[in-house]
A and B are shown apart, each in its own frame.
Chain A
Amino acid sequence: MYSEKIFKEFRHPKNIGEIKNPDGVGKVGNPVCGDVMHIYIKVGKNKKGEEIIKNVRFRTFGCIVAIANSSLLTKMVKGKSLKDAEKITKKDLIKGLGKMPPIKYHCSILALDALRKAIQDYKNKKGKAVK
């Protein structure tokens, strides 16, 4: 039903939890399956002066694939620039996890939505601070 990668990621998830005083938070849910995902980010700068995701954590109430996705995505974006993190697609995640029933593709979208919302939240806050 699911690939070994999904099982492995589910059994040993990374980056679980919350971040105190996060720079951005993304909270999403899927009304059909009822799953809920929260992603927290802390933003910093790299040597080139680009904004990067210095730390990222998640909490997920959901199926095995949703938890596996949360873990994989947070691992993928940690240390990446915001620009690059925003470029990650559903395809990248699905490729990273391997075989799953198509009915489960939306679990990857859920994770990406949560991340994008967290980044947007950060940008909104920054915009306000500048004003």
Chain B
Amino acid sequence: MKRRIYLDHAATTPLDKRVLKEMEPFFSERLGNAGSLHSFGQEAREAVEKAREDIAKAINAGQEEIYFTSGGTESDNIALQGVMKANREKGKGLVTSAFEHHAVLHTAQHLEKKGFDVNFLPVTKEGFVELSEVEKALHKETVLVSIMHANNEIGTVQPVKEIGEMCRERGVLFHSDAVQTVGKEKIDVQKMGIDLLSASAHKFYGPKGVGFLYKRAGVKAEPIAFGGGHEKGLRSGTENTPGIVGMASALKLAVKEMAEDNARERKLRNKLIDGCLEIKDGWLNGAREPRLACNAALGFDFVEGESMVLMLSDKGIAASTGSACSTKSLEPSHVLRAIGLPHVKCHGSLRFTLGRNTSAKDIDYVLQELPKIVQRLRKISPLGGK
């Protein structure tokens, strides 16, 4: 079969085989509904609560502070909508950044339409939210600050600890969309001053369609969907037992192997970036560090991302133009616009995200094929000197 190299781990990761094994019994043998009283139900409940405990430990939270959801999008929605609606008596102020994932950005825009007062902070050219900007935006009626831990397109890691400490001092709640960092960067919600945190299992070699929200005890939040009152009334719906078991198992492995995985990926990633920067008129989006070990967000003048992605795909290499959603819109990525990249350069962006199985050989192969592709497309392009 043709060689296939997957370099789109920021979009999703493969389920770890060890995790699959742990999940398997919960699909049919151990079928119980965790809400049922009989032994089948109790077995499921036990598994769900054990998973909750493991996940809480991984981020230094209390077990009762973990709420299972269907993934990052739902966690972000509960965090933003749920907290803003439940804290109306304090005020209407929400502070977030211009380069959040759409799960936060569109939710914030929705809240703005509904009468909340939302502030979208600018980010630096290097791809960071500045502490001083957050501070300037805070006012008496600010309820919540929501800043992502690492950006999904350009991989830059935000000064979340500093922002968390400041929010705490000012008596403002702090949410962080950590979908790209849980299992990849150390997270300690106590030390980092985080009140709410979103995570999604499929980004750390767990199953798709399951995630969690950490909500500090005592933080008020309303549910956004109603039903049987599961998850202490915050998120109704029968627990996804195999998914939850898989998520906990995946997170335990990811935390255990984090240092090793990151060191390996960072080395390969740097080799990839350096190789790509040797291509004429190529550049890196965002600062090189602090950046997720897996992320190489590149750009090439005079060529267009979609064309590069397809030509790479023809060579068996899976990359992305930025976020997986951008194929549906003509507008260039809001992340790249936010870091001040000119319109025409946004179109030349190409993102590789490495994973556990990425090898040095894979990177060599990319570095052998990519320059040829860029060159071919530049021959077609009217831009740039010929």
Contacts and interface: CB of A to CB of B under 8 A. Distances in A.
Interface of A: 1, 7, 10-11, 13, 16-17, 27, 32-38, 59-64, 67, 101, 103
Given A33-B330, A64-B310, 19 more contacts: A1-B327, A11-B314, A13-B380, A34-B346, A34-B347, A35-B304, A36-B382, A37-B382, A38-B382, A59-B380, A60-B381, A61-B304, A61-B347, A61-B381, A61-B382, A61-B383, A64-B307, A103-B329, A103-B330
Nearest to A27: B382
B331 A32 contact: yes
B56 to A, nearest CB: 41
Closest 7 interchain pairs by CB?
A: A59-B382, A33-B330, A38-B382, A61-B381, A63-B306, A61-B383, A34-B347
Contacts of A62: 304, 307
B310 A7 contact: yes
Interface of B: 302-304, 306-307, 310, 314, 327-332, 343-344, 346-347, 379-383
A51 to B, nearest CB: 25
Nearest to A31: B343
Main secondary structure of the interface of A (DSSP, over half): mixed
A2 to B, nearest CB: 9
Nearest to A63: B306
A11 B314 CA distance: 9
B343 A34 contact: yes
A3 to B, nearest CB: 13
A131 B341 CA distance: 47
Given A34-B343, A103-B328, A16 B314 contact: no
A98 to B, nearest CB: 16
A103 B306 CA distance: 15
B332 to A, nearest CB: 7
A63 B310 CA distance: 10
By CB atoms of chain B within 10 A, which of A34, A35, A38 has the most? A34
A101 B331 CA distance: 15
Contact of A10 (B310, B328, B382): B310
Contacts of B310: 7, 10, 64
Contacts of B346: 34
A34 B348 CA distance: 11
Contacts of A7: 310
Nearest to A106: B330
A62 B344 CA distance: 10
A107 to B, nearest CB: 10
Contact of A63 (B307, B314, B382): B307
B328 A59 contact: no
A62 B332 CA distance: 12
Nearest to B345: A34
A67 B310 CA distance: 12
Contact of A60 (B314, B328, B347, B380): B380
A61 B377 CA distance: 8
A11 to B, nearest CB: 7
Given A10-B307, A10-B310, A62-B304, A34 B381 contact: no
Contacts of A11: 314
Contact of B330 (A17, A32, A59): A32
Contacts of B331: 32
A33 B347 CA distance: 8
A34 B302 CA distance: 11
Contacts of A35: 304, 347
A40 to B, nearest CB: 10
Contacts of A67: 307, 380
A1 B324 CA distance: 13
B362 to A, nearest CB: 23
Contacts of A36: 382-383
Contact of B303 (A1, A34, A61): A61
A47 to B, nearest CB: 34
B296 to A, nearest CB: 22
Nearest to B303: A61
A61 B302 contact: yes
B330 A60 contact: no
A94 B112 CA distance: 39
B221 to A, nearest CB: 36
Contacts of A13: 380
B382 A16 contact: no
B304 A63 contact: yes
Nearest to A30: B330
A103 to B, nearest CB: 6
Nearest to B314: A11
